[in-house]
Structure 1
Amino acid sequence: MEGNIAEIGQFLGAGLAAMGSGIAALGVGNVAGNFLAGALRNPSAAGGQTATLFIGIAFAEALGIFSFLVALLLMFAV
């Protein structure tokens, strides 16, 4: 009986950690959307902010990949 409860907790934790991947996708959309809104308001400044856009996207994606790895560790760790 104890093994089943531990397995349920393992999969529940993995599911919660995997939700971070979806939240990271929302973060990337937010970063890109705000950049686009700013670029449309001031097109001359958009070129100087492109590096900041890519850094923001990279950080958001890194958090998504990290949460995916945590989910995999929780699912398959012994």
Structure 2
Amino acid sequence: MDLASAAAIGTALAVGLGAHGAAIGDGLVTGRAVEAVARQPEARGSVMTLMFISIGLIEALPIIAVVIAFILMGKMGG
């Protein structure tokens, strides 16, 4: 396997797995936030704030994966 093929496979894996992991994380965080608000409605504001901060941090993973994909695409010349 040459370098271009390995970089192409690495690019696909980085973006695909990064997006998959973030989707699972977003679902888990949102589900737990809904459960927390259902149990304690008066804490809705703080729960939602923490949820949005957590989702923002989780979404950093696919952004980093796309940057890595661009770096790998540059290594393979395309």
TM range (shorter): 0.7 to 0.9
1:17 is matched with 14
Q: Give the TM-score taking structure 1 as reference length.
A: 0.82
Q: Distance in 2 between matches of 1:10 and 1:64?
A: 18
State which of 29, 32, 47 in structure 2 corresponds to 1:31. 29
Q: Give the TM-score taking structure 2 as reference length.
A: 0.82
Identity among equivalent positions (%) equals 32
User: Cα offset for 1:16?
Assistant: 1.6
1:44 is matched with 42
* Structure 2 spans left out of the alignment, 5+ residues: none
Q: Per-residue displacement from partner, 1:3-53 (whole Å, max 9, x unpaired)?
A: x61111111111221121221121111111110111111111122222111
* Structure 1 spans left out of the alignment, 5+ residues: none
RMSD: 1.5
